[in-house]
Amino acid sequence: MVRHLCDMIAANGDRLDTGFLSVPFLMDVLCDNGARDVAYRLLYQTGCPSWLYEVEMGGTTIWESWGAVDENGGVSTYSYNHYAFGCVADWMYRTIGGLQMTEPGYRHFRVAPDVEGCVLAHAATSLESPYGRIEVAWELGTATGDSAQPLHLRVIVPANTQAEVRVPGGSTVTVGSGTHDFFGML
């Protein structure tokens, strides 16, 4: 089924062709089933229909319809502040930012950013939990020659919580409250 989904996406020029009921599941289904590259192609697509098409057309919010503004700038009567397609932000927080709740209220959470798959050089996210502010930021350094690329990951864990952090190199550590910096190579 995932291969069929990927074929349908490719046949549509690596663009979305979905309604709002399927969008909340689309990126996770692709990533969880070995098609992470397809998910990122969808995310970075700028042709209509896509999230970045809206940005390219001057959008600062998520629209009710993928083509609410046509390629010539014609504006339709759709809502221009409509969350349905905005659920991609949740996926970005969990996947690119790597912030994933494992217990209610983020009393325990996981930090596992997808630094290799997303093609960004850095990303940061934060969340106001019932326990305080959680922050995750990562940045890739410049690779030299054939060497691996350096990574700096910073995690800020609020009081009375714990974070399970996937550190550079792939191992996992559990940390308590405070600011934690991790350095390593990809």
Domains for the chain: give ranges and CATH numbers: 2-89 (no CATH), 96-185 (2.60.420.10)
pLDDT tens by residue, 61-120:
888 888 899 999 999 999 888 888 888 999 999 999 999 999 999 999 999 999 988 889
d(CA 106, CA 131): 8
Phi, psi of 117 (to 5 degrees): -80, -25
Give the per-residue pLDDT at 118: 87
Answer whether residue 185 shows pLDDT above 90: no
Task: Find the distance separating the first CA and the last CA of the chain, reported in whole Å.
Answer: 32
* Predicted local distance difference test score (pLDDT) of residue 98: 96
Phi, psi (degrees; rounded to nearest 5) at 25? -105, -20
The pLDDT tens digits for 17-62 are 888 888 889 999 999 999 999 999 999 999 999 999 999 999 998 8
* Total-model pTM: 0.89
Could you give the strand order of the β-sheet that contains 162-166, starting from the edge strand earlier in sequence? 99-101, 108-111, 162-166, 172-175
Enter the DSSP assignment of 69: B
Residue with tokens 């009375």: 160
Query: How much is the pLDDT for 75?
Result: 92
H or E segment and range at residue 36 = helix 36-44
User: 10 Å Cβ neighbour count for 107?
Assistant: 15
pLDDT level of residue 145 (50, 70, 90 thresholds): low
Is residue 177's pLDDT more than 90?
yes
Which residues, 6 or more positions from 58, have their beta carbon under 8 angstroms from its beta carbon?
69
Q: How many CB atoms lie within 10 A of CB 39?
A: 24
Question: What's at 46, amino acid-wise?
Answer: T
